Amino acid sequence: MKKTAILAAALLAGTSIGASAETLRWARAGDSLTLDPHAQNEGPTHTLSHQIYEPLIIRDMTGAFQPALATDWAPKADDPNVWVFNLRQGVKYHDGSDFTAEDVVFSINRAKSEDSNMKELLSSVVEVRAVDDHTVEFVTDGPNPILPSNLTNMFIMDKGWAEANDAVEVQDVEGGETTFAATNAMGTGAYKLVSREPDVKTVLTQNENYWGKDTFPMDVTEIIYTPIQNAATRVAALLSGEVDFIQDVPVQDLGRVAETEGLVVKTAPQNRVIFFGMNMGADDIANDDVEGKNPLADVRVRKAMSMAINREAIKQVVMRGQSQPAGMIAPPFVNGWTEEMDSSAQTDIDAAKALMEEAGYADGFSIQLDCPNDRYVNDEAICQAAVGMLAQIGITVNLDAKPKAQHFPLITNGETDFYMLGWGVPTYDSEYIFNFLVHTRGEDRGSWNGTGFSNPEVDEMIVSLASETDLEKRNETIQSIWNVVQDEQLYIPIHHQVLNWGMTDAVGIEVSPEDDPKFKFFTMN
Amino acid sequence: MLAYIIRRVLQSVLVLLIVGLVAFAMFSFVGDPVDNMLGQERTQADIERLRQQLGLDQPFVVQYWRFLEQAAQGNFGLSYRQGRPVAEILMERLPATLELAFVSGLLALFGGIALGIFTAIRRRGIPANVIMTVSLIGVSLPTFLIGILLIYVFSVELGWLPSFGRGEVVQIGGWTTGFLTESGLKALILPAITLGLYQMTLIMRLVRTEMLEVLRMDYIRFARARGIREKSINFRHALKNTLVPVITITGLQLGSIIAFAIITETVFQWPGVGLLFINAIQFVDIPVMAAYLMMISVMFVGINLIVDMLYFAIDPRLRVDRTAGGH
């Protein structure tokens, strides 16, 4: 009896030595806004939730699909309006309760509720039903071929836990009530929440009973997450060895970090493209000096403006090499992106001048450019560079740079005629871009289309994408919409942003295009 | 006396109300919180629904009235950014700022007085001149630059002190303190120097000037002539007479140390109310901004009120009408 106890103790000791404790101290500019997985559709919030909660499907560090709580999924054989998901068996929550189909139904309905910020991604879903304990069916209002890509940030909560803690409803800020789920978290993920002080420190520890313990490296056993807002301080914390891993390394400090012994910088193109939009739809625009007509309505002017932008110079001078010049407003991972279109942008001042003359603006005109100054990498500096470049073809640009909280309402309220915008594509499909940026502005679509562009034919094509199940035909439609966007020079693409992560050389991970480190993929040596 | 106090309190309340009104008038220029709250996939209908629910479609005067109504009942609303009660967040963050301000204040006061005396007594020596020159740099360099410089030297190059945060804190009731742990004390050093440096040079220069003035006075000369020891003249006779304006300035600066901790807190990621306010501005978190501004103005108005009452206690001339009516 005594002997077995000693043996058991020795075995326990052995395992704890085997899995050596590796703490990863992680810093990035901002903190997660809430632990409630359906209350905010925002990068840093999802990144933290991904460690604690899991969706049915995740994207791995390269952006490819990987089964998470679902093992496989397919449209139902006899009904194209239904997707069937087979769920992983034997998964347990952090508190030991079982993961079942009922939790999926509960979570999806919660994410569809009015106060959820995730509901737009589920707008095609009419009903979710549990067929048995480990099978779920999603019924959509028509065939939806890309439903799975809308589910990669759709986290699953335990129904029992939510009910027991009065967290069935999504946090409703305006209602004046705070919910248990905003400050507590309990999921099936690889890490458990130990403690959290918003904006100060969040501590996570490895989930010993994680289903994927053998699937993923799981070298990191403890995560200490501290947001550090000031870029110089964040870099200093990495240089002084107070943190092991930082996101958002400012481009001017990349060299400094990379030169330091024991530190590395890793770089990859981000899922975000930066471009200018122009108000072409109005008869006359307010922020220019041309009376009675709108110079931006002429496609020749828009083409000339695009030709005047020297993307290579912006890359070298403004971005210090940290960007990838773009010819279309889709990041390279997105379905519908082509090498040919993305490299189509040419700088040609003479041709641009000729086009301006042809359009009747040989003497140019003046216009206001609205630009954010705290949203994208070097956003204001890019705009300043563009001011000089457009001056070469006679366009006098008055730059108005503002904080993002003031800039974005200008676009959504249609109060700007020439503006900068950046766009990421979480679904990795062109439909997402078309819905928000190309479709005529209306109730359900086109909310970010500040160009005034409206083409009923194109709108019809965009709407058809949602329910086209023949993927080849769908891709053809995507291609023809892109042709219109390119021919009309609807936007002036600038570049694809590049992401930088700084880390000690012990950390083994590649940069993910979504800027969302999932720590179960990390190796430590 | 009572009438005087009531009049001052009423004036203070009026000042507070006006500060609040100005603050609310300015919020609409900070930006639109709805964009941040809903994310890029929201529809126009969502925007309008939320704007209506938050009362953002109302004129600012109406918004201000609603805020006052709620605030009078002790309810400062929910932070748009964190979704938690504003009062709770402020109470959580206040200890960090107050501890930092306290240490910086002490540093500024004692460092400033000591250096001021030194540079006044030894005003022709090389060390005094070096201190005076360096202090000029302290006054003219912006706070964030000093902070970054200190981080670079003491955290990155020497590795002695932490570059960010508060270290380990101990929870005592509703208060968190960094005074009781080694890492907490270490974390205090750089931010406290950064925040206190300006005030320290200010006090130092003030003490020096006053001290030089006093040392030229006749009673000091007579004291010297009587053969009183130099030490006694400097510290007992001269210093005492120097301190009156120093105390006035220190009182006034105390409020600004708390209010202007914003930059220092941002540089050092110090989890106080200043950093909270910066985050609130970026997110257009109106309830947090409103509560913070009200808190700071209550503090300033409160300090001024106390100072006024102290004058009343000190200066007999203010009590004239009471004595006249009394006997």
User: Hey, are the CB atoms on A405 and B284 less than 8 Å from each other?
Assistant: yes
Supply the DSSP string of A422-479, one letter for each residue: EE--TT-BHHHHIIIIISPS-SSS-TT--S----HHHHHHHHHHTT---HHHHHHHHH
Supply the DSSP string of A241-310, one letter for each residue: TS-SEES---GGGHHHHHHSTTEEEEEEEEEEEEEEEE--SSSS-TTBS-SSS-GGGSHHHHHHHHHH--
Question: What was the pLDDT predicted at B190?
Answer: 94
CA-wise closest residue to A57 among A66, A46, A47, A49: A66
Q: Is residue B154 part of a domain?
A: yes
Looking at per-residue confidence, does B173 or A236 come out higher? A236
Lowest mean pLDDT segment, chosen from A80-84, A342-346, B138-142, B307-311? B307-311
Q: What is the mean pLDDT of residues B21-42?
A: 80
Q: pLDDT, tens digit, for every residue of A457-511?
A: 999 999 999 888 888 999 999 999 999 999 999 999 999 999 899 999 999 898 9
Q: Please give the Cα distance from A84 to A467 (Å, whole number).
A: 17
User: Hey, are the CB atoms on B269 and A226 less than 8 Å from each other?
Assistant: yes
Q: What is the mean pLDDT of residues A441-447?
A: 83
User: Hey, are the CB atoms on B39 and A177 less than 8 Å from each other?
Assistant: no
Consecutive H or E run containing A5: helix A2-18
Intra-chain end-to-end CA distance of chain B, in Å: 16
Q: CB atoms < 10 A from the CB of B294, how many?
A: 18
Supply the DSSP string of B193-246, one letter for each residue: HHHHHHHHHHHHHHHHHHHHHHHTSHHHHHHHHTT--HHHIIIIIIHHHHHHHH
CATH of the domain at B101: 1.10.3720.10
Q: pLDDT, tens digit, for every residue of B107-156?
A: 988 999 899 888 888 888 888 888 888 888 878 888 888 999 999 999 99
Q: Is residue B153 part of a domain?
A: yes
Q: How confident is the model at residue A12 (pLDDT cuts 50, 70, 90)?
A: very low
Which of B35, B265, B270 is best to mutate for the A interface (most A CBs within 10 A)?
A: B35
pLDDT score of A284 more than 90: no
Q: Please write down the HEC assignment for all residues of A66-109.
A: EECCEEEEEEECCEEEEEEEEECCCCECCCCCECCHHHHHHHHH
Q: Is residue B234 part of a domain?
A: yes
pLDDT score of A8 more than 80: no
Q: Measure the CA dihedral A278/A284/A287/A288, to 10°.
A: 90
Structural domains for chain A: 2-244+506-524 (3.40.190.10), 270-497 (3.10.105.10)
Question: What was the pLDDT predicted at A251?
Answer: 85
Q: Is residue B42 part of a domain?
A: no
Question: What was the pLDDT predicted at A384?
Answer: 96
Is A262 in CB contact (< 8 Å) with chain B? no
**A and B: number of Cβ contacts within 8 A:** 141
pLDDT score of A420 more than 90: yes
Q: Please give the Cα distance from B193 to A322 (Å, whole number).
A: 36
Set of chain A residues whose Cβ sits within 8 Å of the Cβ of B47: 412
Which of B28, B30, B43 is best to mutate for the A interface (most A CBs within 10 A)?
A: B43
Question: What was the pLDDT predicted at B42?
Answer: 77
Lowest mean pLDDT segment, chosen from A22-26, A186-190, A361-365, B66-70? B66-70
Q: pLDDT, tens digit, for every residue of A168-188?
A: 888 766 666 678 888 899 999
Q: Please give the Cα distance from A129 to A149 (Å, whole number).
A: 19
Looking at per-residue confidence, does B319 or A41 come out higher? A41
Domains: count for chain B: 1
Residue B100 lies in domain: 86-293
Lowest mean pLDDT segment, chosen from A8-22, A90-104, A472-486, B193-207? A8-22
Average pLDDT in chain B: 84
User: Hey, are the CB atoms on B82 and A403 less than 8 Å from each other?
Assistant: no
Crossing angle (nearest 10°) for helices A404-412 and B273-283 = 20
Q: Please give the Cα distance from B56 to A439 (Å, whole number).
A: 28
Question: What was the pLDDT predicted at A412?
Answer: 82
Alpha carbon of B85: minimum distance to chain A alpha carbons (Å): 7
User: Hey, are the CB atoms on A176 and B78 less than 8 Å from each other?
Assistant: yes
Nearest CB among A179, A201, A240 relative to B156 is that of A240
Q: Is residue B74 part of a domain?
A: no
Question: What was the pLDDT predicted at A27?
Answer: 94
Crossing angle (nearest 10°) for helices B112-121 and B126-140 = 140
Looking at per-residue confidence, does B218 or A2 come out higher? B218
Q: How confident is the model at residue A20 (pLDDT cuts 50, 70, 90)?
A: low
Looking at per-residue confidence, does B85 or B309 come out higher? B85
Question: What was the pLDDT predicted at A427?
Answer: 86
Q: Is residue B137 part of a domain?
A: yes
Q: Within B73-180, where are the H helices?
A: 86-106, 112-121, 126-140, 143-150
Question: What was the pLDDT predicted at A5?
Answer: 46
Q: Is residue B67 part of a domain?
A: no
Which of A233, A242, A246, A443 is best to mutate for the B interface (most B CBs within 10 A)?
A: A233
Q: How confident is the model at residue A303 (pLDDT cuts 50, 70, 90)?
A: very high
Nearest CB among B266, B279, B283 relative to A230 is that of B266
User: Hey, are the CB atoms on A233 and B53 less than 8 Å from each other?
Assistant: no
Cα dist. A25→A53, A220, A507, B133, B292 in Å? 20, 10, 11, 41, 31
Question: What was the pLDDT predicted at A494?
Answer: 96
Alpha carbon of A449: minimum distance to chain B alpha carbons (Å): 12
Q: pLDDT, tens digit, for every residue of A203-231?
A: 999 999 999 999 999 999 999 999 998 88
Which of B26, B28, B29, B32 is best to mutate for the A interface (most A CBs within 10 A)?
A: B32
Q: Is residue B34 part of a domain?
A: no
Set of chain A residues whose Cβ sits within 8 Å of the Cβ of B79: 173
Q: How confident is the model at residue A99 (pLDDT cuts 50, 70, 90)?
A: very high
Q: Please give the Cα distance from A154 to A163 (Å, whole number).
A: 19
Residue of A nearest to B51 (CA): A174
Alpha carbon of A346: minimum distance to chain B alpha carbons (Å): 30
Indicate the pTM of the whole model: 0.85
Question: What was the pLDDT predicted at A266?
Answer: 92
